[in-house]
Amino acid sequence: MFDAALAAAVTRTEPDPAKARQGHIQQTEIVRDLFEGHYESAITVAEAFKDAVLGIGVAEAVDGEIVAFDDTVWRVPVDGIPVIAEPQQGLPFAVVAQGGVSITEQVAAGTDFAGLTTLIDEVLKAAGQHHDHLVAAIRVDGTFTEVLLRSEPRQTPPYRPITEVLDHEVQFAFEIWAGTMVGFRFPDVNDQVVIPGLHLHGLAADRNSGGHCHRGVTAVATLRIWLDDADIFVPMTGVHYGM
Ligand SMILES: [Zn+2]
């Protein structure tokens, strides 16, 4: 199940005083299972998002994108209209950040996701970290232009691979969009365990739109970064991976 490349690509953090600043990330299930079409529930919203600072995920049967912050978990189904997720809502995949102390940065206007990734990596470097050696939790609040969000239709068994599901994704484009994007800057590793790079889900300030964020350019935005260690929990095998 597990590619040892992940273990080689990341460094286990030894306990030290700086650790007190660190939060913790738990990812449930690995990306390969999602790619192969395992959309059955592995964990509930109540279980996954207990004490969450923020998090992202996908609903059982791919019935919407999950985005969580400020003590609320939202589900954005294929119509693009967010609803508050039920505590018993099942999730085949979730990544949740808990605890930690964030670093705040203002983001220059006109910063796209590539620029945001560069900024995050600079903040990590200034903190003595490298983006391939940890998972950073990310929150961006503000006003954006050229925002492209997506959700996808609920699936019925037998489930198709995620790439085929995403061939039928529904996109929502906004010239101007105000809201919050949360997620993670994962290591740049194609290990089938984590989704590499920057991965954000959004929720509009007016709560009328949201979803997985394909694109966005900052107008006025504030970035918060948490430097976190991470656990990857695979309920089907009962295995834990540290990173
Ligand atoms: Zn996503």
Residue 241 is assigned to a structural domain of this protein? no
| Residue where the block lists tokens 């199940």 | 1
Q: Are 214 and 103 in contact (CB under 8 A)?
A: no
What is the 57 CA–ligand 1 centroid distance (Å)?
A: 7
Q: How many domains does the chain have?
A: 1
Residue 239 is assigned to a structural domain of this protein? no
Q: Give CA–CA dist 56/117, Å, rounded.
A: 18
Q: Give CA–CA dist 46/72, Å, rounded.
A: 11
Residue 70 is assigned to a structural domain of this protein? yes
CATH number of domain containing 215: 3.30.1330.80
Q: Which residues of the chain have pLDDT under 70?
A: 1-21, 231, 234-243
Residue 184 is assigned to a structural domain of this protein? yes
Position 216 scores a pLDDT of: 98
What is the 214 CA–ligand 1 centroid distance (Å)?
A: 8
Residue 73's DSSP bridge partners are 68
What is the 79 CA–ligand 1 centroid distance (Å)?
A: 16
Residue 74 is assigned to a structural domain of this protein? yes
What is the 26 CA–ligand 1 centroid distance (Å)?
A: 16
Residue 242 is assigned to a structural domain of this protein? no
Contacting residues for 236 by C-beta, under 8 A, at least 6 apart: 29, 33, 38, 42
pTM of the model: 0.89
- DSSP structure string for 155-221: --SSPPPHHHHHTT-EEEEEEEEEEEEEEEEE-S---SSS--EEEEEEEETTSS-EEEEEEEEEEEE
Position 2 scores a pLDDT of: 44
Residue 243 is assigned to a structural domain of this protein? no
Residue 121 is assigned to a structural domain of this protein? yes
What is the 136 CA–ligand 1 centroid distance (Å)?
A: 16
Q: Are 220 and 161 in contact (CB under 8 A)?
A: no
What is the 164 CA–ligand 1 centroid distance (Å)?
A: 15
Range of the domain at 161: 5-11+18-231
Query: Which region, left, alpha or beta, applies to residue 131 given φ > 0 means left and ψ of -120 to 50 means alpha?
Result: alpha
What is the 212 CA–ligand 1 centroid distance (Å)?
A: 4
Compute and round to an integer the Cα radius of gyration of the chain.
17
Position 154 scores a pLDDT of: 97
Position 113 scores a pLDDT of: 98
What is the 224 CA–ligand 1 centroid distance (Å)?
A: 19
Q: Are 85 and 203 in contact (CB under 8 A)?
A: no
Position 139 scores a pLDDT of: 98
